[in-house]
Amino acid sequence: MQWKWLTYLFFLLFCSTMVTAQITFEAKVSKKRLGVNERLRVDFEMNQDGDNFNPPDFAGFRIVGGPNQAISNSYINGKRSYSKTYSYFLAPQRQGQFTIAQASIEIDGQTYKTTPVTVQVTAAVDKPKDENDADYLASENVHLVAEVSNSNPYLSEAITVTYKLYVSNEVSITSNWREIDTPKYADFWSQNIDSRGNYKIYEGQFRGENYRYVVLRTTVLYPQKTGKLTIEPLTLDVPIDVRSNRRDLFGRYLMTRVNKTISAGNRIIDVKPLPQEGKPINFTGAVGDFQFEVTSNKTQLDANESMELSVKVSGTGNLKLFDLPSLKLPSSLEVYEPTRADEITTQRTGMRGSMVENYTVVPQFKGTYPIRPISFSYFNPKTATYTTISSKELIVDVENGPVSAENEINESLNNGKQAVVLQNEQFKYIKLSPDLQPVIKEQFFKSKIFWSLLAAPFLIIPLFILVGRKRKQRLADIEGNRQRRATKLAKRYLSEAKKNMVEKANFYEALERALHNYLKAKLSIETSEMEKTRIANLLAGRAVMPSVVDDFLNLLKSCEYARYTPASDVTIREDYDLAVKTISNIDKQLQ
């Protein structure tokens, strides 16, 4: 009896296995190798109806059609044939090898998945020219062009990249295009000058034919590295209305819409190094055409009265990418940390405006103090020469106030003897008959002061011992001392950034300048040499941990991205705290 039940059980399992084996669910592609300008069809086919179909995410592709559903149900010689298909039409977004991931569906309570399919996307392929093909007409009548003002600039010389979308009169488009790939401008300092959606239509020519065009974006670039640099392309998805061969009831041509992926293509910029011949010693990386001056709001004042000295550089060029020269003043003039006042605008030709550092100076003694001239050097790319400008000498006359020891000696040597003038009533206020009272002398021994002075050492000695022990512990804490000195140094470099935390743009400019100044001081490199790969190699060569190097590079990227993206107060505070921590860690780990 038991064998009979076992036979039935094996039979049922065999039948269920056969039924399960008959269910198929697979992915089929129209081609496994295609160009980036072609389309791919993907079919998910099953031989039994199911529920809860879940497609893959199609990484590397953009869905331009679908899902389309098709069902086939037929009987041949009494045998039922059923199929259900979900179809998608995909457009590749870039070249490379991509995998169509698994899709899933539920059939009879069981979940089935397709096998992943690998597809190779190559460069654009030539398509047969078919005047009646909408895709061909769209690609021939819409073009995206990147125009570069100068493809062979000097290091830190401004160049302009203008992206123009040309459209012929044979087709029409709307403003509903979408950016797929945005240029990253590696190895460039960049500033976008966007039209903010207010696109103006111009008439022009492209390849000798009349076209309409709009300026999508203008970007000002300052190369930070020499050699051949690549500007990544801007890629758009553009809906294009193309005339078809069909007509309406009134004989007018009907339009058909085609979505095309259009790219401006890579542009190569060959950056020349700045010449070494004639390079001034005080050159700090300024490239452009500038004016330089040092001014004072007053030249006559009294001791302990404040005055303001201004160091100003104005003109056109890479104004945000170099440091102003520092003042050198006599020791008798107390000088405070300068405040920054920049007025810089970025136009299509580059940065224009002025940078000013205002020093508050307070003289301590009476005298005459000369403020010696200081020099500023820059490279003019138009004349390919270096120019050095020196400021004028300023004389500060402190009229009233205490005389320093040195000036007092000089005055006594210069003045000579003077006659003493006596007045007749100079003893008028001397009292001739004073009312004197005897002074009672208090005994010091056993007085309150006596006992206080006697007990004071016994109270102070334990305090000194305790303070001494704390000091020894603090001095013995080598790691803690290094950390405290590093944190103090970081906060000193970041003091200006902290003052500008309310204004996002000023904060990130000050933060970026603080990071650059720190690298100058610690690694002895110039602004023109501050390329991320070189910074990473220098820090790694000085035994700085990779995680700390990554934090520092991420801070530089945050300063770059912050020009184009909004930032909250929390983000700004986090970036500041990370900057303090990172500089402190680098200073502690540098060898």
pLDDT digits (tens, 9 = 90+) for 257-279: 888 888 888 889 999 999 999 99
Tell me the C-alpha distance between 257 and 130, whole Å.
17
CB atoms within 10 A of CB 66: 15
User: Do 320 and 379 form a contact (C-beta atoms < 8 A)?
Assistant: no
pLDDT digits (tens, 9 = 90+) for 190-241: 988 866 667 788 898 888 888 999 898 899 999 999 999 988 888 888 888 8
Distances (CA, A) of 160 to 90, 219, 454, 499, 581: 35, 6, 83, 33, 37
User: Do 125 and 134 form a contact (C-beta atoms < 8 A)?
Assistant: no
Query: Cis peptide leading into 67, omega within 30 of 0?
Result: yes
pLDDT for 196 equals: 61
Q: Which residue would you say has higher pLDDT here, 165 or 89?
A: 165
**Planar angle of CA 64, 267, 201, nearest 5 degrees:** 65
Closest CA to 225 of 570, 486, 445, 534: 534
Q: Could you give the 3-state DSSP secondary structure of residue 416?
A: coil
How high does pLDDT run on average in the chain? 80
Compute the CA torsion angle 447, 453, 459, 465 (nearest 10 deg): -170
User: Is the pTM higher than 0.75?
Assistant: no
pLDDT digits (tens, 9 = 90+) for 444-478: 777 778 788 888 887 788 888 888 787 777 766 66
pLDDT digits (tens, 9 = 90+) for 23-65: 888 898 888 888 887 888 899 988 888 888 889 988 888 887 7
Kindly state the greatest CA–CA separation across the chain: 153
- Percentage of residues in the chain with pLDDT exceeding 90? 21
